[in-house]
Amino acid sequence: MADAQQTTVQFARGLEGVIAAETRIGFVDGNLGRLVYRGFDISTLVEQSNYEEVSYLLLNGKLPNKEEYSNYVSRLKKLKYLEKDEYDLISKLGKVSHPMSTLRTVVSYIGAKDPRTVEPDVAVQEDLGLELIAKMPTIVAAINRAHNGLDFVKPDPDLSYSSDFFYQSLGRKPSTIEAKMLDTALILHADHGMNASTFAAMLTISTLSDMYSSATSAISALKGPLHGGANERALSLIQKVGVPENAEKIIGEMIDRKDKIMGFGHRVYKVYDPRAKILKQFAERVTTANKQQVLFKTANKIEEVMISRLGSKGIFPNVDFYSGMLYYSIGFNPDIFTPIFAVGRISGWVARALEYVRDNKIFRPKALYSGETGPKKYVPVNERD
């Protein structure tokens, strides 16, 4: 039975609709289909900016001037390298562990070796955050290599954030369109409201724990299929449908059975997800360039069937529908899709954790107690039935 005090605040399962923090970083308008970082529409940023600049924007609240940009990029480039024991750990876990489990373990391991993680002040948290942003592509690329039984490719000092991630992951330099596509995908994933992994990052740092622990919590939360895993399943659906001619029948039957179609629908967006709109344009261009048009055409037909049947309910493609297909078409295997998400999202995790800890209040929600209140009599073990 709940006591009177516990029910003074409204009970919301999963904290749905509860406002638990204030932010100036990012805003999702689900009705108008807008995603805004620090006042900039996401479409403006993907057209005119790049991941490094967007990362700076999320962290600092403004675009960098020339000198700030060059210092920021140099710091990221300097910090992106891993040590031998870190590569050894990735090799050891490489084939046996799921890439997300390896990522969680490696981030935790690097933090464990760093004495600055003991009671860090905010300035130290900022340094740790920058280091995490710098190293994340190198870690995920190395995990990709090890998981596929390939030799590591070391960072290239001259490449940009996303191109070096591409190069270290796939062992070749990206074409212009591939580089722009991957940079765009990372920007589109950089921040998205107070989702589960961002909340996990903020919750951990609110105890005044360190940024590596905060990122480890976020990665753990992202690992679950309800958060980071839908693009893998969306791709397998597109592959199962195979050709556009099959879409009407297969998808129609799934809708009739009330199956959930992966890569469609969103808790916040009730119109077309602005990230999916941008990725769809890249999907068409990239698959034309690498002769995988059938993937795109099949996806496009699935979208058509879905919108004609469920568009009136506010069901449209979300970011996961085209992202998996894009990653796959340039050579990434599906089990690395969620770690790629983490490479983009690391800037959002760090920015929001720092914003929160600068004006900190430890998170401590309550649960509505619905168990027995007693007091019950204790019966010794040898007298129980």
Ligand X SMILES: CC(C)(COP(=O)(O)OP(=O)(O)OC[C@H]1O[C@@H](n2cnc3c(N)ncnc32)[C@H](O)[C@@H]1OP(=O)(O)O)[C@@H](O)C(=O)NCCC(=O)NCCS
Q: Candidates 267, 358, 361, 366: give the one binding ligand X (CB under 6 A).
A: 267
Q: Which amino acid is at 177?
A: I
Least CB distance from residue 219 to ligand X, whole Å? 18
Least CB distance from residue 371 to ligand X, whole Å? 28
Number of alpha carbons in the 13 Å side-chain half-sphere of residue 9: 12
- Of the two residues 285 and 309, which places its CB atom closer to ligand X in the complex? 309
Is residue 142 near ligand X by the rule CB under 6 A? no
- Of the two residues 153 and 319, which places its CB atom closer to ligand X in the complex? 319
Is residue 266 near ligand X by the rule CB under 6 A? yes
Helix H or strand E encompassing 89: helix 84-94
State how far the alpha carbon of 244 is from the alpha carbons of 112, 248, 277, 299, in Å.
50, 8, 20, 8
Q: Which listed residue (320, 335, 359, 385) is catalytic?
A: 320
Q: Which of 141, 223, 145 is nearest to 186 (CA)?
A: 141
SS3 state of residue 371: coil
The angle subtended at Cα 367 by Cα 361 and Cα 373, nearest 5°, is 135
Helix H or strand E encompassing 53: helix 51-60
Q: Candidates 62, 95, 173, 260: give the one binding ligand X (CB under 6 A).
A: 260
Walk across the sheet containing 26-29 and list its strands.
26-29, 34-37, 40-41
Is residue 13 near ligand X by the rule CB under 6 A? no
Neighbours of 125 (CB within 10 A): 24
Least CB distance from residue 120 to ligand X, whole Å? 33
Q: Candidates 99, 111, 265, 324: give the one binding ligand X (CB under 6 A).
A: 265
Q: Which of 27, 372, 353, 371 is nearest to 201 (CA)?
A: 353
**Which tokens go with 105?**
């373990």
**Which tokens go with 21?**
């923090």
- Of the two residues 78 and 267, which places its CB atom closer to ligand X in the complex? 267
Is residue 261 near ligand X by the rule CB under 6 A? yes
Mark residue 309 as left, alpha or beta (left: phi above 0; alpha: psi -120 to 50; beta: remaining): alpha
Interface residues for ligand X in 311-340 (CB under 6 A)?
A: 313, 315, 318-320
Is residue 62 near ligand X by the rule CB under 6 A? no
256 is an active site residue? no
Least CB distance from residue 254 to ligand X, whole Å? 8
- Of the two residues 98 and 227, which places its CB atom closer to ligand X in the complex? 227
Is residue 275 near ligand X by the rule CB under 6 A? no
Burial code (b: 16+ CB inside 10 Å, e: under 16) for 69-106 equals: eeebbeebbeebebeeebbebbeebbeebebbebbbbb
Distance CA 203, CA 21 (A): 11
- Of the two residues 107 and 262, which places its CB atom closer to ligand X in the complex? 262
- Of the two residues 267 and 361, which places its CB atom closer to ligand X in the complex? 267
Interface residues for ligand X in 219-238 (CB under 6 A)?
A: 230
How many chain residues interact with ligand X (CB under 6 A)?
A: 16
192 is an active site residue? no
Q: Which listed residue (147, 191, 266, 273) is catalytic?
A: 266
Least CB distance from residue 309 to ligand X, whole Å? 9
- Of the two residues 26 and 265, which places its CB atom closer to ligand X in the complex? 265
> Which residues lie near ligand X (CB under 6 A)?
230, 258, 260-267, 310, 313, 315, 318-320
Q: Please list the active-site residues.
A: 227, 266, 320
